[in-house]
A and B are shown apart, each in its own frame.
Chain A
Amino acid sequence: MSRRVLITGTTRGLGRFLAERYLAAGDRVIGCGRSESTLEHERYRHHRLDVCDEKAVGELTREIRQRDCGLDVLINNAGVASMNALALTPPASARKVIDTNLFGPIVLTHAAIRLLRQSAAARIVNISTIAVPLRLQGEAIYAASKSALETYTRIAARELGPLGITVNALGPSVVRTKLTAGVPEEKLQRLVDQQAVPRLATAEDVANVIDFFLRPESGLVTGQVVYLGGFG
């Protein structure tokens, strides 16, 4: 059955991949990002917005309510990284990372609950990172923002369970995206070498876990954080 899927950060990378994947599966996809999208499809709509902008997100959800009469899936994918020694990270840069990675999903979730409640299989999926369990040096702010998102996920699962909404998170292992483009090759390899299954993850690996969370049969799967590659 066709689902109504809202994905943040669809202009590139994993978000774009997921949008294309669910469009191919016959779903209706609403995407958003700070840039215009080059993705064109009869079942895709794009909103240019900042996920931290409550007013813009309010407009987005009002439009979804009117055009789609609700929502089945929210994937909080939009994120920014700031790989830098914390002593050299200006507080303003840290705030930007925390805003996008934590406050953004909070804004989207708050708005989407009202659309998801009527769905027979309402799902929220948050994207975390293996930087949380690995406590990676140079990623203090990024990992802290995602760590907070994981706690938010677990508590949201408890609060939204009675409303029929599951909330889970996925921490991809090393995937080649724009987010990891600035990380030296040796560092990426060292991370891969620490995995139980030492290979780079692909977007399909990530989508596989999300597919599991989204299945109608996964109604009791909530409050979970799944890391790829054997971390945790």
Chain B
Amino acid sequence: MNSCPVDRVAIEQTIVRALEGANASREPDAQLDTSADAAIFGAPSPLDSLGLVALLIDIEDAFAAQGCTIALSDERALSERRSPFRDVPSLVAYIERVLTEAGAQG
């Protein structure tokens, strides 16, 4: 059963923790910014497309651990004019939307 609390602060914390987790396996000169307005994918972030996949899986996993199953990289995300994965605020907003819709659908 999905239990997905829609809470911007909690979503942001989950993303930042995932970025911090990703840094654990990255070289010192390729560390990701973990601030609340950090770029995630695209300049100036050093994250490549495979790194983005791993990060999104980490975030999905973190929500799954809370009993909340979400899929972040669907056709809609990939087709949006401005990528929802470009920075932390845009990803927070995107996840918030996904969670709200998931809640609305029950």
Contacts and interface: CB of A to CB of B under 8 A. Distances in A.
Interface of A: 58, 62, 65, 113-114, 117, 159, 162-163
A112 to B, nearest CB: 12
Contacts of B69: 58
B61 A114 contact: yes
Contacts of A113: 57
B32 to A, nearest CB: 16
A163 B69 CA distance: 21
Contacts, number: 17
B12 interface: no
Contacts of B53: 159, 163
A159 B50 contact: yes
A132 B1 CA distance: 41
5 contacts: A62-B64, A114-B61, A117-B54, A159-B50, A163-B53
Contacts of A58: 69
B57 A114 contact: yes
Interface string B45-66: 0000010011001001100100
A162 B61 contact: no
A162 B64 contact: no
A183 B85 CA distance: 52
A117 B57 contact: yes
A98 B64 CA distance: 29
